[in-house]
């Protein structure tokens, strides 16, 4: 092949314009697929030999060359050439330089269409497994926070207004469950990722007697695709993976919002680790939760990746279209962002310290025991809606007198209902309120302890 001639250039009389080469190249970012591209090629070659399409010595020579190229890439000595468009062409061109014309037999019975689909599935499978490990570390950090702070009471909120007292441990486990669902989504996606499209060729399959099940097994796939047209054009698994990343980032962003609020002087609920905060260039007293703020910001970035892939796919006729080259950058960006965000937030959660007295003090505010008083009356036979009205009047009385519910005397309670007895005074503590909610999923210490035990048993923490 003439120097500078494209591998696909036999039909063309003119050289590709330089602007077109810049516009169409993908090797600047898809070179990260190289280990997966070479793994797929080696499996393909082994299958071609098994089927008698390649001679043994040809297969051995090609595989040896591919392994040498992988070593070059890992050493950083491989020269990536933009004019060769993508990772596949760069590897194949280097192979023919190393071993001669037999390198051209690598592509027998294969198209770049099924090749790239295979590469990306191998990459996504690898990255999902990495993300699952990071999600587990984060979940462990929440469980550790819960276990080490079982007696810390804090205000629970609705509408960002103090609602009812809860255990800090209960709050931490709420995040555990969010990230547990995220892991389950990734595991479910993995079932659809781990299917081999190799052997679908350009779009219609191939006339060569390929053994697709053999290559699938070599590459660790659980099955092969059943329709060649769908196989080369399907990127659902990419959209699904980015969606999962967006969900993780949404949960991290919710956590980050709370950490930003909780670390303010106004809330004063937690002390964030110094190593994960920054200072001000002008105000020496500042300790800014920049990592949490950036987590919120980067969530929008991953949402953008999801919108990008959905937009790329929405108008494509079957089968392969060059638009699909644009699937990789949002995928790579979403995965890179979520992995780094998980790593840094696991360390933040592991290192933050609750300010116990401040939390308890705030848990008493905002008439957080009002529902307990209403429940008390309901248990005495007062219809709940009537009990609700009575306690609302009690709260108005307290506001007028500058008192809290726990400071009222029995005589004051009785002004509003004769159902109040001495035992109502024993309810007036945040600890009592918390422990009264002793049902599955409730915030009572007994239930939180039980949940921690179940989690540790299920997860093997």
pLDDT given for residue 18 in this prediction: 84
d(CA 183, CA 138): 11
**CA angle 330–278–351, rounded 5-degree value:** 85
* CATH class of segment(s) 365-459: mainly alpha
Fold of 9-108: Fumarase C; Chain B, domain 1 (1.10.275)
The yes-or-no answer on residue 404 being catalytic is: no
Instruction: Please measure the distance between the N-terminal and C-terminal CA atoms of the chain and give it in whole angstroms.
Output: 59
pLDDT given for residue 284 in this prediction: 87
- Could you give the C-alpha distances from 357 to 155, 157, 269, 317, 369, in angstroms and in order? 12, 18, 9, 62, 18
3-class SS at 78?
A: coil
The yes-or-no answer on residue 200 being catalytic is: no
Q: What is the pTM of this model?
A: 0.93
3-class SS at 245?
A: helix
d(CA 405, CA 370): 8
pLDDT given for residue 10 in this prediction: 61
Kindly give, in sequence order, each residue whose CB lies less than 8 Å from that of residue 327, ignoring residues fewer than 6 positions away: 120, 235, 238, 309, 312, 313
Annotated catalytic residue, options 77, 159, 207, 281: 159
Give the DSSP H/E element, type plus range, for residue 301.
helix 290-313
Spatial CA neighbour of 340 closest among 286, 394, 391, 299: 299
pLDDT given for residue 65 in this prediction: 98
- Kind of pairing between the strands at 223-224 and 195-196: parallel
pLDDT given for residue 15 in this prediction: 74
Spatial CA neighbour of 263 closest among 340, 173, 353: 353
pLDDT given for residue 11 in this prediction: 66
Annotated catalytic residue, options 15, 251, 263, 280: 280
Contact 258, 293 (CB under 8 A): no
Give the tokens for residue 130: 């990495």
Contact 49, 105 (CB under 8 A): no
pLDDT in single tens digits along all 461 residues of the chain: 444 556 555 666 677 788 888 898 999 999 999 999 999 999 999 999 999 999 999 999 999 999 999 999 999 999 999 999 999 999 999 999 999 999 999 999 999 999 999 999 999 999 999 999 999 999 999 999 999 999 999 999 999 999 999 999 999 999 999 999 999 999 999 999 999 999 999 999 999 999 999 999 999 999 999 999 999 999 999 999 999 999 999 999 999 999 999 999 999 999 999 999 999 889 989 999 999 999 999 999 999 999 999 999 999 999 999 999 999 999 999 999 999 999 999 999 999 999 999 999 999 999 999 999 999 999 999 999 999 999 999 999 999 999 999 889 999 999 999 999 999 998 889 999 999 999 999 999 999 999 999 999 999 99
- Kind of pairing between the strands at 161-167 and 153-158: antiparallel
* CATH class of segment(s) 113-159+170-361: mainly alpha
Domains of the chain, residue spans:
9-108, 113-159+170-361, 365-459
- Could you give the C-alpha distances from 27 to 32, 44, 95, 325, 413, in angstroms and in order? 9, 22, 16, 10, 76
């Amino acid at each position: 092949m003439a120097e500078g001639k494209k591998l696909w250039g036999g039909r063309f009389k003119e050289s590709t314009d330089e602007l077109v080469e810049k516009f169409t190249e993908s090797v600047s970012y898809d070179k990260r697929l190289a280990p997966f591209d070479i793994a797929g090629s080696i499996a393909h070659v082994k299958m071609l030999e098994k089927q008698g399409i390649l001679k043994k010595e040809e297969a051995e020579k090609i595989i040896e060359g591919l392994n040498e190229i992988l070593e070059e890439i890992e050493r950083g000595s491989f020269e990536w050439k933009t004019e060769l468009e993508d990772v596949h062409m760069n590897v194949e061109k280097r192979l023919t330089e190393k071993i001669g014309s037999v390198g051209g037999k690598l592509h027998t019975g294969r198209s770049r269409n099924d090749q790239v689909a295979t590469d990306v599935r191998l990459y996504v499978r690898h990255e999902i497994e990495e993300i699952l490990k990071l999600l587990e570390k984060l979940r462990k950090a929440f469980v550790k926070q819960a276990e080490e702070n079982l007696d810390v009471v804090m205000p629970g909120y609705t509408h960002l207004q103090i609602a009812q007292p809860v255990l800090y441990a209960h709050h931490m486990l709420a995040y555990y469950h969010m990230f547990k669902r995220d892991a389950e989504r990734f595991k479910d996606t993995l079932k659809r990722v781990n299917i081999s499209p190799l052997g679908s060729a350009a779009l219609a399959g191939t006339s060569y007697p390929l053994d697709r099940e053999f290559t699938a097994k070599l590459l660790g796939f659980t099955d092969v695709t059943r329709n060649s047209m769908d196989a080369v054009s399907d990127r659902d698994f990419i959209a699904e993976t980015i969606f999962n990343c967006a969900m993780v980032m949404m949960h991290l962003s919710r956590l980050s919002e709370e950490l930003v609020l909780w670390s303010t002087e106004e809330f004063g609920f937690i002390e964030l680790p110094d190593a994960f905060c920054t200072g001000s260039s002008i105000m020496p007293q500042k300790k800014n939760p920049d990592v949490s703020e950036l987590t919120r910001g980067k969530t929008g970035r991953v949402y953008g990746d999801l919108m990008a892939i959905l937009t790329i796919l929405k108008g494509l006729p079957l089968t392969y279209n060059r638009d699909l080259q644009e699937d990789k950058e949002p995928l790579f960006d979403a995965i890179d962002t979520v992995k780094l965000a998980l790593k840094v937030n696991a360390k933040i959660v592991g290192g933050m310290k609750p300010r116990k007295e401040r939390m308890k003090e705030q848990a008493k505010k905002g008439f957080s025991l009002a529902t307990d008083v209403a429940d008390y009356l309901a248990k005495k036979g007062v219809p709940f809606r009537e009990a609700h009205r009575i306690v609302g009047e009690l709260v108005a009385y307290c506001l007028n007198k500058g008192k809290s519910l726990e400071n009222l005397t029995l005589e004051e309670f009785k002004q509003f209902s004769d159902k109040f007895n001495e035992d109502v005074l024993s309810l007036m503590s945040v600890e009592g309120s918390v422990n009264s909610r002793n049902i599955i999923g409730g915030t009572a210490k007994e239930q939180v302890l039980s949940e921690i035990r179940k989690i540790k048993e299920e997860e093997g923490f």
